[in-house]
Amino acid sequence: MKITQQATDTSLTLNLDGELDASSSVILDTELSKSEVLDYQKILIDCQRLNYISSAGLGVFISHLQRLQDANVKLIFYNMQEKVHNVFEILGLDSLMTIVPTQAEAVAI
């Protein structure tokens, strides 16, 4: 799993590249645990190159969602592959998290 970042004054974009499993998800958890994450209005997760996610990867997002919401930081996923979106659907997370098709829609929220 490789994570690259771009920041604006109001948003932080994390570009996920690879597979999020019980081995690799700690890298993402480290990024989302940083206190400066709460300085942004939006955390955008670009999933275009996210090829796989297991419960460990989902658990990272689940564990940070309330903390972000409490700080009025929106967590928004976009460019998600169908097979990855399907894993969110199986647990009903697609209705608890904001997932949009494109970057333009993510930015517009």
Partner 1 sequence: MKKDIRISCSRENLKVVRDFVNDYLATYNLSELQLNQIILAVDEVVANLIIHANGEDESRSLCLSINFVNHAVDISIEDSSPISYRPSTFREPDMNEHVRLGKKGGVGMALVNRIMDSVEFTTSGTYNVCRLHKRVS
Question: Which residue ranges make up the site for partner 1 (CB under 8 A)?
Answer: 19, 21-23, 29, 52, 54-56, 58-60, 62-67, 82-83, 86-87, 90-93, 96
Query: Minimum distance from CB of 71 to partner 1 (Å)?
Result: 13
Helices vs strands, H then E, count in the chain: 4, 5
**Residue partners of 65: CB distance under 8 A and separation at least 6:** 75, 96, 97
Query: Minimum distance from CB of 24 to partner 1 (Å)?
Result: 9
C-beta closer to partner 1: residue 7 or 91: 91
Query: Minimum distance from CB of 88 to partner 1 (Å)?
Result: 10
CB atoms within 10 A of CB 2: 10
C-beta closer to partner 1: residue 29 or 107: 29
CA nearest 80: which of 62, 107, 106? 106
C-beta closer to partner 1: residue 91 or 109: 91
**49/70 Cα distance (integer angstroms):** 29
Query: Minimum distance from CB of 104 to partner 1 (Å)?
Result: 25
Q: What is the DSSP letter of 58?
A: H
C-beta closer to partner 1: residue 7 or 96: 96
